[in-house]
């Protein structure tokens, strides 16, 4: 029995556990800030909703560019250094947001914060994939997303506590986010580098007669030649990036909840509920995709997305808002870790950083576009989010059969 348990736990490696704790502390800091951003930008700093969309879009676009560059470099130069730099930049960004007296400073802080996310994300995800058996990728990414999202439950609650202790002073409350951000960056010293072994050279013809040659020196993974990523990878990336074009920032969803007449505390609690569902659902969804087609699981997540967006467009103030946000929480649970595991399964181990970087960069660019068009439509609707929510919900519904069909185009590498 002990041997069976050990076999089942091979995926729960040191790197996976440490990186999950690092992400938990960082997300606690980020999500303390995140639900308060609409109040800070459109309330305290008196900026229009389109500015909120621009801030999040530019920040994600910056993260996307960094993801592509560092994902490619980390396959050659080592991943831990990029992970440490990324979490350090995120802490600096949170200091800027907490100190902001005008919305351009918030833009600068969010950009530095997301730059840090871009620097660390692809190397971290590639390192997770390298640190666990390939047959447990879904389970490993699900575990990581569950731990990361637990921070998104703790963070908003800590934000409410900070607001209460600080007598409603929003700026003073935002400074609380710096502590878990610094702890997160410090934990990176416990992460260990893990390089994929270089592929063995192909043997041509019969072995030469005579004594066996001396063994060749091992070739570092960084010396592996760069090869084109497989077609199956690009099929998946293409569809998921198109889906991201309708997935605008969750800060606009929180703005919608505020529009419906809920106060700051209720908006934060609604966001906590969303993240509870996200955290609880991430590990089972990831484990499921180690046995079931990832395209189908992702498609179910898009249905949850459509229900949440269309429902929030049409509903009035009441308990239904919380139910819809809970349903929407199934979307990232069924797609975030699932998508990363899917991408990792389609490429050779020595190119996973590049593959994750390209995918995440293109997705961030799509989120930038989504934030811009949604923010403009929001303003055109006189500060009401009905139209952009309906457009996004319809786009998700259209994407469901495409995702289901994608299973037959994109298969994992043996």
pLDDT (mean) for 400-411: 73
Query: Domain 11-194+230-406 belongs to what topology?
Result: Growth Hormone; Chain: A; (1.20.1250)
Interatomic CA distance for residues 36 and 32, integer angstroms: 7
Give residue-wise pLDDT tens across range 81-91: 889 999 999 99
Interatomic CA distance for residues 199 and 86, integer angstroms: 30
Chain mean pLDDT for the chain: 83
Give Dmax (Cα) for the chain. Answer: 85
Whether the predicted model's global pTM rises above the 0.75 cut: no
pLDDT for 240 equals 93
Give residue-wise pLDDT tens across range 184-206: 999 999 998 876 544 444 444 45
Tokens representing 24 are 């938990």
Name 237's Cβ contacts closer than 8 Å, sequence gap at least 6. Answer: 343, 358, 359, 362
Give residue-wise pLDDT tens across range 40-82: 888 888 888 778 778 877 887 788 788 878 877 877 777 888 8
CA–CA distances in Å: residue 214 to residues 147, 150, 208, 209, 211: 47, 52, 13, 14, 9
3-state secondary structure at position 412: coil
Tokens 């991201």 belong to 244
Give residue-wise pLDDT tens across range 213-230: 444 433 334 444 467 888
CA–CA distances in Å: residue 36 to residues 43, 174, 268, 392: 10, 8, 8, 24
Asked whether the CA dihedral 164, 168, 170, 171 is positive or negative, the reply is: negative
pLDDT band at 412 (very low <50, low <70, confident <90, very high): low
pLDDT (mean) for 146-172: 90
> Is the pLDDT at 340 greater than 90, yes or no?
no
> Is the pLDDT at 345 greater than 90, yes or no?
no
> Is the pLDDT at 5 greater than 60, yes or no?
no
Give residue-wise pLDDT tens across range 120-137: 988 898 899 888 888 888
């Amino acid at each position: 029995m002990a041997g069976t348990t050990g076999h089942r736990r091979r995926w729960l490696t040191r790197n996976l556990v440490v990186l999950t704790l690092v992400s938990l502390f960082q997300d606690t800091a980020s999500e303390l800030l995140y639900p308060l951003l609409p109040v800070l930008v459109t309330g305290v700093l008196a900026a229009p909703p389109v500015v909120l969309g621009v801030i999040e879009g530019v920040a994600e676009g910056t993260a996307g560019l960094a993801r592509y560059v560092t994902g490619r470099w980390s396959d050659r130069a080592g991943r831990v250094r990029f992970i440490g730099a990324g979490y350090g930049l995120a802490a600096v960004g949170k200091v800027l947001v907490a100190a902001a007296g005008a919305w351009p400073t918030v833009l600068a802080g969010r950009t530095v914060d997301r730059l840090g996310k871009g620097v660390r994300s692809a190397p971290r995800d590639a390192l997770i994939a390298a640190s666990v058996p390939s047959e447990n990728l879904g389970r490993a990414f699900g575990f990581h997303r569950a731990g990361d999202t637990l921070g998104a439950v703790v963070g908003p609650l800590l934000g409410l506590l900070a607001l209460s202790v600080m007598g409603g002073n929003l700026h003073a409350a935002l400074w609380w986010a710096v502590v878990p951000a610094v702890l997160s960056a410090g934990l990176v010293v416990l992460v260990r580098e893990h390089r994929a072994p270089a592929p063995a050279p192909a043997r041509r013809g019969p072995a030469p007669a005579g004594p066996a040659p001396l063994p060749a020196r091992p070739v570092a993974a960084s010396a592996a030649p760069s090869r084109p990523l497989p077609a199956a990878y690009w099929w998946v990336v293409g569809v998921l990036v198109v889906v991201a074009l309708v997935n605008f920032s969750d800060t606009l969803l929180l703005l919608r909840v505020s529009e419906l007449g809920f106060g700051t505390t209720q908006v934060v609690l609604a966001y906590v509920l969303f993240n509870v569902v996200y955290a609880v659902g991430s590990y089972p969804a990831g484990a499921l995709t180690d046995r079931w087609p990832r395209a189908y699981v992702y498609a179910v997540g898009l249905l949850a997305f459509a229900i949440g967006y269309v429902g929030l467009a049409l509903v009035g103030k009441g308990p239904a808002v919380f139910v819809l946000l809970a349903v929407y929480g199934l979307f990232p649970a069924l797609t975030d870790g699932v998508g990363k595991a899917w991408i990792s399964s389609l490429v050779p181990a020595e190119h996973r950083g590049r593959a994750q970087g390209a995918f995440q960069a293109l997705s961030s660019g799509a989120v930038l576009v989504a934030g811009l068009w949604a923010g403009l439509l929001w303003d055109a609707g006189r500060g009401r989010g009905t139209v952009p929510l309906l457009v996004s919900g319809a786009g998700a519904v259209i994407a469901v059969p495409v995702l289901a069909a994608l299973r037959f185009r994109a298969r994992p590498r043996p």
